[in-house]
Structure 1
Amino acid sequence: MSATLTLTALKDGRPPPFASYSDYSHLQDASSGQVLTSRSLMRETDSGTVTSIDSTSQTLIYQGSEGTSKPLDYDYIIISSGLRRPWPVVPRCKRFTSYLSDASAFTKKIVGTKKLGVVVVGGANRPGIKGAVGVEFAGKIRTHYPGTAVTLVHSRDQLLSNEPLPIEFKTRTLKLLQEQGIKVLLNHRADVEELPDGTSYVKLHDGNRLHTAMVIMATASSNPFSQFLPPSSIINGTINIDAHLRISSKDGPIPRMFAAGDVVNLPGVKLRGTAVVMESVAAADIYSSLVA
């Protein structure tokens, strides 16, 4: 959406919606021109999953919701397929109506927890699990459902233990959660035992256990969605890019291919704001190439 809004603004001679976050001065003298056409957009009912991309023929193959494969030609392409995590960290449904049903059932379960409350297990007890997801889940549940008791169980001695953040930030995060009324248990690893009545015991390694109506596991690692790209452009599952956000292989940048957001090989906390700005910059680079 960020890339689309940027391209549309530049096409109409307007400043990009995120102009204050980057330098777009090289586009000041660019004449406006028609960039987007109706045939370059797909209806939601025709959408699918990309299975492969051929950078030589500038064609991608995507599999529709009914399982049929279709080609789609492109002049430029921006890959922003992000990271994949299991439900409930991210939606698991591909259709809107199914998603609404899933989300509705999930929220009703939160509302129905009553006194037993919700336990979020957001530990970082193995490489690749950083714990930010658990912090966010606990905070959001307490914010939207203030009557629900929320406990966050974390396996390290501080929150956001593996995130590249200052100690002051991590300490402040703990204080804010506690001020919300969230019970935070640090240095605790947890095992979950589901009970016949639908509730659960969260067994802590010190021998104690928590009886809860709902457990949210926020410990699964994220997986970049990049398997449809050439292997030479992938580093540990993420996409290799240069300073201009162009996808690069061992032989150099791949023509007309850009990538942005969580799927790229950049360090740091994966946040939507960063992805939004990267998308805008990639779109501006494409527009600059078009008018050139």
Structure 2
Amino acid sequence: MSAPFSDVCALRSVHNPYRVLIAGGCYAGLAAAINLFQSCDTFDDPIPLDITIVDERDGFYHVIGSPLALSSKSYAEKAWVKYKDIPVLQRPDVRFVHGSVSKIDPESKTATILEKPNKTERAELYDFFIAATGLRRVWPVVPQSQSRDEYLEEAGRHIDAVTNSTAPVLVVGGGAVGIEMAAELKETQPNVQVTLAHSRSKLLSAEPLPDNVKDCALELTEEAKVNVLLNHRLKSSTPVTNAQDGTVVYDVEFENGHKMTASQVIMAVSRSVPSTTYMPAETLTEEGYVNVLPTLQLSSDKIPNALSHFAVGDLIHWSGIKRCGSAMHQGKFAGLNIHQIILQEIQGKEPVLNKLAETPPMIGLAVGKNALSYGGDGMKYGTQVMEWFFEADLGFRIVWDHLRLGM
């Protein structure tokens, strides 16, 4: 017979809580933490927790807002909120560590953490671990700064450079990031000439989407007054300094022989890499993604305590296009599933675990004043779609409220 609920909770007191370590404090990591502690708060006898969130940044950065954050200084201020300024997380059972997880030992349930600013190394014990560090993306897809103050300086320099452009700004790469970056730049800085160059015959060529979606993306991009060059693979970009005033422009040449002069060249084409170097090699694919069960627990039978370890967000090996919505959904499931496992220990009941379904291709794309969506209901586009999916701030308010960050 299992011990009464209150007796087990007494054993798990504030002095001996369930320790949950989350690597990554963006969409998936925050969703996991919030859903877990809100589930544990709902009982007459609250389940004691100690949640530690480790992140290289000192705050939550709205990654999908990057195209606007790197075009508008006022929006850049909004897109990064320090963890200490997020109301729902200001509670004694949630701690933040500005740093990174360098490795985990699943057998002893111990993580090695490197704390900033000096990369001081320390060990952290846990009962449950959640990997939510996402993909490592390069500049200017996302800012590389790790503090809000440095980020504002980084974004400000970039915005000043493109605002003062005398020749066209060239965005290279016609994936979702490149399209949104070019369109937001033109929307916020209408006097700047913006050219988007893509190496293939259709935009979004790397995504498993129907041709009508890719064609619509082109139409909306051109409607946003962005000059689109298809079948233009960048060959070289050579900086040239004006001897009189010291300004720099770029002599650009494409492999098809086309040449142009650009005031700035923004590379929006890069292969993002999963940030999973701290994970045991047995849990990873050849590309570095984490293999998980539908419950988001590690699927490897080669490491101990695999079912106490979860992975969520862009770093998991799963179907579908990497999206903010999917990351938050997976984080929620991980938090709820840890709660179910805790209840099993307390009440002796078999846990009812949420399971992730196979995810078909879907996308939401902001293109200036319009947006394009594709999913189970087919394709939709226009200003109303922009309002539904992104509103006027590339989804910041939607995400903030969905995660209940202001509570």
Task: Return the TM-score normalized by structure 2.
Answer: 0.62
| Counterpart residue number, 2:185 | 141
Mark the runs of 5 or more structure 1 residues left unpaired by the alignment: 14-29, 124-130
Task: Say whether residues 1:201 and 2:257 are aligned partners.
Answer: no
Contact 1:31 1:291 in 2 (8 A): no
SS in 2 for 1:278: helix
Contact 1:142 1:180 in 2 (8 A): yes
Kindly report which structure 2 residues correspond to 1:41-190, keeping only aligned pairs within 5 A, or say none: 41-43=94-96, 46-65=97-116, 66-113=118-165, 115-122=166-173, 131-190=175-234
Question: What do the CA deviations read for 1:53-104 (whole angstroms, capped 9, x no partner)?
Answer: 0111111111111121011111111111100121111121222221121111
Task: Say whether residues 1:3 and 2:32 are aligned partners.
Answer: yes
| Counterpart residue number, 1:225 | 275
| Counterpart residue number, 1:126 | none
SS in 2 for 1:255: helix
Q: Please report how far the alpha carbon of residue 40 of structure 1 lies from its aligned counterpart in structure 2 after TM superposition.
A: 5.4
| Counterpart residue number, 1:18 | none
Give the number of the structure with larger relative contact order, counting CA–CA contacts within 8 Å between residues 6 or more apart: 1
AA at the equivalent of 1:2 = A
| Counterpart residue number, 1:237 | 288
Q: Please report how far the alpha carbon of residue 139 of structure 1 lies from its aligned counterpart in structure 2 after TM superposition.
A: 2.2
SS in 1 for 2:279: coil
Task: Say whether residues 1:268 and 2:320 are aligned partners.
Answer: yes
Contact 1:10 1:32 in 2 (8 A): no
Question: What do the CA deviations read for 1:114-136 (whole angstroms, capped 9, x no partner)?
Answer: x423110106xxxxxxx332222
Q: Distance in 2 between matches of 1:210 and 1:36?
A: 59
| Counterpart residue number, 1:128 | none
AA at the equivalent of 2:239 = E
Q: Distance in 2 between matches of 1:288 and 1:31?
A: 17
- RMSD over aligned Cα atoms: 2.0
Contact 1:117 1:149 in 2 (8 A): yes
| Counterpart residue number, 1:247 | 298
Mark the runs of 5 or more structure 2 residues left unpaired by the alignment: 1-29, 51-90, 242-246, 345-407
SS in 2 for 1:262: helix
Contact 1:83 1:223 in 2 (8 A): yes
SS in 2 for 1:247: coil
**Structure 1 pair 231/164, CA: closer, same or farther in 2 (3 Å)?**
same
Q: Please report how far the alpha carbon of residue 241 of structure 1 lies from its aligned counterpart in structure 2 after TM superposition.
A: 0.4
Q: Please report how far the alpha carbon of residue 250 of structure 1 lies from its aligned counterpart in structure 2 after TM superposition.
A: 4.5
| Counterpart residue number, 1:216 | 266
Q: Please report how far the alpha carbon of residue 144 of structure 1 lies from its aligned counterpart in structure 2 after TM superposition.
A: 2.7
Q: Please report how far the alpha carbon of residue 31 of structure 1 lies from its aligned counterpart in structure 2 after TM superposition.
A: 7.0
**Structure 1 pair 35/120, CA: closer, same or farther in 2 (3 Å)?**
farther
SS in 1 for 2:112: strand
| Counterpart residue number, 1:277 | 329
Task: Say whether residues 1:192 and 2:242 are aligned partners.
Answer: no
Aligned residues: 266
SS in 1 for 2:299: strand
Q: Distance in 2 between matches of 1:281 and 1:34?
A: 18
Q: Please report how far the alpha carbon of residue 9 of structure 1 lies from its aligned counterpart in structure 2 after TM superposition.
A: 2.6
SS in 1 for 2:328: helix
Q: Please report how far the alpha carbon of residue 32 of structure 1 lies from its aligned counterpart in structure 2 after TM superposition.
A: 6.5
**Structure 1 pair 76/210, CA: closer, same or farther in 2 (3 Å)?**
same
Greater shift, 31-40 or 228-237, is seen at: 31-40
AA at the equivalent of 2:237 = V
**Structure 1 pair 50/40, CA: closer, same or farther in 2 (3 Å)?**
farther
Say which of 49, 70, 82 aligns to 1:36.
49
Q: Please report how far the alpha carbon of residue 195 of structure 1 lies from its aligned counterpart in structure 2 after TM superposition.
A: 1.2
AA at the equivalent of 1:9 = Q
**Structure 1 pair 36/140, CA: closer, same or farther in 2 (3 Å)?**
farther
Question: What do the CA deviations read for 1:181-226 (whole angstroms, capped 9, x no partner)?
Answer: 0111000111211111311122122322121111101122111010
Q: Please report how far the alpha carbon of residue 279 of structure 1 lies from its aligned counterpart in structure 2 after TM superposition.
A: 0.5
Contact 1:62 1:69 in 2 (8 A): yes
Q: Distance in 2 between matches of 1:186 and 1:141?
A: 19
**Structure 1 pair 36/250, CA: closer, same or farther in 2 (3 Å)?**
closer
